[in-house]
A = this chain, B = another copy of it.
Amino acid sequence: MKKDTSLDGLFRPRSVAVVGASRQPGGIGHEVVRNLVMGGFQGPVYPVNPRAEVVHSIRCHPDLASIPGEVDLVVIVVPAPAVEGVMRQAAKIGARGAVIVSAGFRETGVDGRAREERVLSVARKAGIRVIGPNCMGILNTEPGVALNASFAAETPIPGRVAFVSQSGALGEAILSRAKSRELGLRMFASVGNRADVGAHDLLAYWEHDPEVRVILLYLESFGDPEAFRIVAERLRGKKPIVAIKSGRSLAGRRAAGSHTGSVSGEDRVVETFLRQCGVLRVQSMPELFDTAQALLSQPRPDGPEVAVVTNAGGPGILATDALVGTGLTLCEFQTKTRKRLEKILPPEASVQNPVDLIASADALRYRKALRAVVADPKVSSLLVLFVSPIMIDAAAVARAIVEETRAKSMPVVACLMGRLGEKEGMGILRAAGIPVFEFPEEAALTLSNLVRQSERAARKSGRRPRIRVDATRARRILAAAKVSEDGWIQTKSVFRLLEHYGIPMATTMQATTPRGAAQAARKLGYPVCLKALSSALVHKSEHGGVVTGITSEEEILEQAHRILTALKPQYPDIALEIQAMAPGHRELLLGFRRDESFGPVFAVGFGGVAVEVLRDVAVRVAPLFENEPKLMLDSLRGAPLLGAFRGAPPVDRRIVEQSLLRLARLADDLPRIRELEINPFIADRPGGRTLGVDARARINLEQQ
């Protein structure tokens, strides 16, 4: 991917003008100038304000046109209605970037949106890249630039982290906490309404900055998920991306919607999307910082197997609980390791994992034990605990931890609880880049994030499946299908479409009378299944409208009569469907629906009535690579039911997986279909007859 320099005008300007600069300390128009000057920006700063002579000891200009030199970046802090005029001036003088701090745009409703679009259109024509509006500004700590074009109170210390925040207020908090935690930042952008530059542009920009090692995101919604996915995919394995995506809860999404004016998708879609992109999602701000710091200093773990070394039982158990709770495992040591530990440790100590060196352990015992543990090839990462007892020098133990783990390429985190020399010990560990915590739970969570990140970095996205289908013919079938007022496609046509895509569906016949049903059953052969059929009947089972296992003509006549009599009053177009019983033994569901932001979202899970209650369903956002269906099935809670289980044979997973991929192709070919579900899709043993026996699909009526 070619290096994109179009954001250089924003982050590496040679000069900056601040339109709306103000003499009043504390005012935003003043703070931006102050930050630029106090931050040591390496080019000239031009305050612009027709009603001021001097701002922060710098001569003021009445407008952009009066500035004698070139202007690369324009920071705009004037009221919203004046922004368009400023942007026109900026275009005239050849600016390359604009940061619009001013609020009063899309976030305020229809008028604001129109205003934002007018401003953007001016910028686009002039080739000006825009950050904001409604944002806090941007920073770049790079030596030779030293740009703080924001009204933040803190100038961060330089470092290797880049941060995008969709919330200005949170940006302020982030900068403040980063400083107090000594987390160095390379660049920071508060993107506000993202009229132009969004998270994906910044990811692409940082892709080529070798000084950016870790990228952090605070997101409330996705501007362009597809663009995000593509660049995140390129960064996978190169630069870890860690994100807080708020709106996990429905209430949170509603609040985000009214806050940003953009709607965010269902959270499990967001969750799978981020996972598919290789982004590590964390749940809280402290977790975000802890993880970023650990990613900067620690190597990638090659597996989930942790060794715990402690001098106290209780904290060792808490750490073990926390590690297992986050999905990590405590490895069993090699016999050799246990033997080595037995030689080193007193008999009351534990040579199993967690290794308990007991309270009398001094730096030397830590040293010997750590040496044995890190040499064990089963150990992928290490958590060292120390509760300082009387007489033991915590600083010496800290040095032992640093020195014994230095040569090993595995992540190490430490937890120092207690008192004596604790601060000194913490300082020694921090200086050596070993993340150190007060409580074992925080250490465990950080380690588990390193492992999750490593797994995501390593995961290759699969190939696109190759499926041969005549898409033109599919479109013809769809065009010819009868569709109800609310967009439901007639079942017969849904079956035909699915069969066209090679998805096995049960042979189905239709009838309008009991006698017709009996005739169909004779053709199909008993046992059969009888279903009520009406355009208005969504859940057939609700009114006794599905009878399975009919074994005789007498029975089908009786049931058909009952269904027709019972449902006719409410559903005048009632008819009957007769199907041969599917021989399989597990009911699944397969389907997709189109998400407004993410496009097709595919689902597979256990079907039938129980599924809606137990929600054992795996989802994936398109594109569905060849390897995904297998992973989806593996992730189901009920996955063991797909194998040989309690006398029942395994199901034919290959057909299920293939059918999902074929469904994905269908979703690609027929964008008018808004949702489609095969339920139940009855899976049979390998070589048996796996069949979908019911399906429904709906088109988007607004789109022609």
Contacts and interface: CB of A to CB of B under 8 A. Distances in A.
Interface of A: 26-28, 31, 103, 107-108, 151, 153-154, 165-170, 172-173, 176-177, 218, 220, 244, 246-252, 254-256, 258-260, 283-286, 311-318, 320-325, 329-330, 348, 350, 352, 354, 356, 359, 387-391, 417-420, 438-442, 539, 541-545, 549, 551, 609-610, 613-614, 616, 637-641, 645-648
Contacts of A609: 641, 645-646, 648
10 contacts: A153-B418, A153-B420, A166-B314, A167-B313, A170-B314, A172-B419, A218-B314, A250-B324, A285-B439, A610-B641
B348 A108 contact: yes
A26 B388 CA distance: 12
Nearest to A256: B317
B31 A419 contact: no
Q: Which 4 A-B pairs have the closest CB atoms?
A: A167-B314, A169-B312, A249-B324, A259-B313
Query: Most chain-B Cβ atoms within 10 A of its Cβ — which of A250, A311, A390, A438?
Result: A390
Nearest to A322: B284
B438 A258 contact: no
Given A170-B387, A170-B417, 11 more contacts: A26-B390, A103-B348, A167-B315, A172-B418, A252-B318, A252-B321, A260-B313, A284-B441, A285-B441, A609-B645, A613-B638
B247 A350 contact: no
B419 A176 contact: yes
Given A251-B329, A322-B284, A613-B641, A387 B259 contact: no
Contact of A220 (B286, B317, B329, B356): B317
A371 to B, nearest CB: 22
Nearest to A172: B418
Query: Most chain-B Cβ atoms within 10 A of its Cβ — which of A172, A220, A285, A641?
Result: A172
Contacts of A322: 283-284
A56 to B, nearest CB: 15
A647 B544 contact: yes
Contacts of A639: 613
A252 B638 contact: no
A455 to B, nearest CB: 20
B320 A417 contact: no
A115 to B, nearest CB: 14
A27 B256 CA distance: 58
Given A315-B173, A541-B646, A616-B614, A255 B320 contact: yes
A268 B377 CA distance: 34
Contact of A324 (B248, B256, B315, B390): B248
Given A352-B258, A390-B31, A169 B313 contact: yes
Given A252-B317, A441-B283, A312 B167 contact: yes
Nearest to A358: B103
B258 A321 contact: no
A314 B151 contact: no
B249 A320 contact: yes
A472 B441 CA distance: 52
A249 B325 contact: yes
Nearest to A615: B637
A397 to B, nearest CB: 14
Contacts of A168: 312, 314, 359
A425 to B, nearest CB: 14
Contacts of A391: 26-27
Contacts of A31: 390
Contact of A541 (B315, B549, B610, B647): B647
A361 to B, nearest CB: 11
Given A26-B390, A647-B541, A321 B169 contact: no
Nearest to A352: B258
A134 B316 CA distance: 17
Nearest to A249: B324
A338 to B, nearest CB: 13
A417 B173 contact: yes
Contacts of A417: 169-170, 172-173, 176
B246 A172 contact: no
A250 B260 CA distance: 45
Contacts of A317: 220, 246-247, 252, 255-256, 259
Contacts of A255: 313, 316-317, 320, 350, 352, 354, 356
B247 A321 contact: yes
Nearest to A287: B441
A417 B640 CA distance: 47
A151 B255 CA distance: 52
Query: Most chain-B Cβ atoms within 10 A of its Cβ — which of A314, A638, A641?
Result: A314
A670 B103 CA distance: 74
A467 B166 CA distance: 63
Contact of A389 (B172, B286, B350, B438): B172
Given A320-B249, A614-B638, A169 B359 contact: yes
A646 B539 contact: yes
B167 A246 contact: no
A442 B441 CA distance: 14
Nearest to A166: B314
B356 A259 contact: yes
Given A151-B390, A312-B170, A390-B31, A251 B318 contact: no
